[in-house]
Amino acid sequence: NQTHQAPGKEAKQESVTSIKDLFPQNVIKLLRGAERALVCVDPTDTDNLELPIAAANHFGIDNICIVLTGRCAIHPDQVAERVAKAAAEGIPAHEAIPLSEWDRDYSQLLLEASALRFKKVLQRFGHHDACLIVDGGLAKAPKVPHGVHMDDLFGFGDISKDEFQAIQHGALAILADRAKVKDFVGNSNFVAFVGGPATGLNLLLEENPDIGDRWVGWFGQFGSLGSVKGMEIPGRVEGAQFNVMLDPPAGKALIKKTVDLGVPGVFLPTDVTRKAEIGFGDSTMLDFLCKSDSPGMLYLANLRTIWEENAIRPRPGEVLLTHDLATLFLFKQLIDETGNIYSGAPLKSANVITKGAREGVIDFEIGAGPSNLVVATELTNPRAYLEELRISLTEPQLQRIQKVFLATSLSAEDQADPIKMQEYERRIAIKVGPLLREGAQVHFGCHPAALRLMNDYARRYPSQVVAHLLTKFKETRDLLPNIPDADVHWHDSSQENYFDKMIVEMVRD
């Protein structure tokens, strides 16, 4: 084994067809049992918004918690003249204004406003139930200029003046206290997806140590195999990666917790995910891929266009990326819900450099495997990535119900086994319950198509559970006459409870 600052070539030599083969089998079993997800992001580019959408589509909105981490900001009203003067002299803003003068109160205001943006985009994708959004703290970011912060580039065009003033005066608060995560996790196993700095997840584990018993792993856009191309930050050392640079001590502490608790940790280095094959030359190309004009996609399209104007076009050769979603895609690859997208290598260790000239670098030591620590080393199937991207952002909830059934169907022999049938029913109840509630609220216009799908499934995969669920679908349709064949927003609590009761009855049967 050998330690590498940038293990690119060495890591590729150790790559395997499937990352799943690098983990002990008990790890895969634990990941398959993850019922809830912590989605740890920062409010920067648009894929930070897309990761929670994809996670909500996979786990159900009730089963995700967004952990939103900001970073210290420079208040524009206070420092505009100084920043302009420094810029004229070629001095970046983060060097012109000492860190001690950065405005933490303004940073917290930005974070709260960004939380409102996350809530708005989830609603436009049909997730009207409010998911938990907790305060993931402020990363240090001493070497990262605030000019690349999302709200400096986007402004607050999607947040009204009244809403912003309500946030300023404490009348509108979206962010919850981190202690709420303990109730969210409860007795459920959870997995974490890290699309930003490690600050938020590390704080949650430190402040709520009991949830460590329910933590089954994390997948992070974290680290570099060498040069992180496209990141023009003054003073950045070769191999330092943006999310790591935001808070190196938190990254180091998170890896230590991973090792101490024996949970799997998967690193997705930025230079493995920053690939032209999965990038878009302009914001309209992603819309074309998704072939959707839903309110959610239109909302994202507007933000992507602004992002493209301010962050992509000024950097020649840069493309629009959606790579934070790779953390979820790799999780789905490991639990066999998508094809092989990445190959990787087992790690003996991963050490975050927190001080000195190499601050923000992770030294990966490649091991022989199997290991609980794995680093992705190569994008092996760009086509599969793009297809998973399309599905994750556009697939209606009721179509996903059929996929759940397909993924959990049993043979006739297994159906005769009462223990296997009981486990089968439990899995369906966990996975389908939230989808049914979402379907009741948002996608009843698709209900005739859903019935056709369910009928077709019942014929091909006869099962007492499926037959019972199909009957309940039909009964519910009869209770709701005159539903138009188009998406409607429907919030009748009595009918919503009906779906909850249906799941209970299904399991009882």
**Are 439 and 374 found together in one domain?**
no
Radius of gyration of the chain (CA): 23
Identify the pLDDT of residue 2. 32
If one counts every other C-beta atom within 10 angstroms of the C-beta of residue 442, the result is 23
**Are 121 and 238 found together in one domain?**
yes
Beta strand spans in 195-259 (E): 215-220
CA–CA separation, 170 and 338 (whole Å):
43
**Are 473 and 354 found together in one domain?**
no
Identify the pLDDT of residue 236. 56
**Are 427 and 380 found together in one domain?**
no
**Are 77 and 92 found together in one domain?**
yes
Q: What is the largest CA-CA distance in the chain?
A: 77
**Could you give phi then psi for residue 49, rounded to 5 degrees?**
-75, -35
Last residue of a domain, one of 373, 392, 411: 392
Contact residues for 305 (Cβ-Cβ < 8 A; gap 6+): 283
Q: What does the DSSP assignment read for 24-49?
A: -HHHHHHHHT--EEEEEE-SSSTHHH
**Are 294 and 408 found together in one domain?**
no
CA–CA separation, 405 and 402 (whole Å):
5
Rounded to two decimals, what is the model's pTM?
A: 0.73
Contact residues for 75 (Cβ-Cβ < 8 A; gap 6+): 103, 106
Last residue of a domain, one of 376, 392, 408: 392
Residue 309 DSSP class: I
Cis omega (within 30 of 0) for bond into 370: yes
**Are 358 and 228 found together in one domain?**
yes
CA–CA separation, 100 and 72 (whole Å):
10
Assess contact for 443 and 398: CB atoms under 8 A.
Answer: yes
**Are 145 and 193 found together in one domain?**
yes
Identify the pLDDT of residue 408. 55
**Are 381 and 475 found together in one domain?**
no
Give the domain CATH number at 259.
3.90.245.10
Range of the domain at 478: 396-508
Residue 320 DSSP class: B
**Could you give phi then psi for residue 335, rounded to 5 degrees?**
-100, 15
pLDDT along the chain (509 residues), means of 10: 36 53 87 94 84 89 92 61 73 60 74 90 80 91 51 68 86 92 96 95 96 96 73 59 88 96 94 86 72 77 78 72 91 84 93 88 89 92 88 65 56 74 64 49 39 51 56 52 34 39 43
**Are 382 and 491 found together in one domain?**
no
Beta bridge partners of 192: 38, 218
**Are 334 and 380 found together in one domain?**
yes
Last residue of a domain, one of 362, 392, 422: 392
Identify the pLDDT of residue 471. 62
CA–CA separation, 316 and 323 (whole Å):
19
Assess contact for 162 and 101: CB atoms under 8 A.
Answer: no
**Could you give phi then psi for residue 380, rounded to 5 degrees?**
-95, -20
Number of domains in the chain: 2
Identify the pLDDT of residue 201. 97
**Are 353 and 251 found together in one domain?**
yes
Among the listed residues 467, 434, 405, the one whose alpha carbon sits nearest the alpha carbon of residue 56: 434
Pairing status of strand 190-194 against strand 265-267: unpaired
Q: 296 by DSSP, 3-state: which?
A: helix
Identify the pLDDT of residue 107. 78
CA–CA separation, 411 and 461 (whole Å):
8
How deeply is 458 buried, as exposed, middle or buried, from its count of CB atoms within 10 A (0-12, 13-18, 19+)?
Answer: middle
Alpha helices in 381-485 (DSSP H): 382-394, 397-408, 412-415, 418-442, 447-460, 464-479
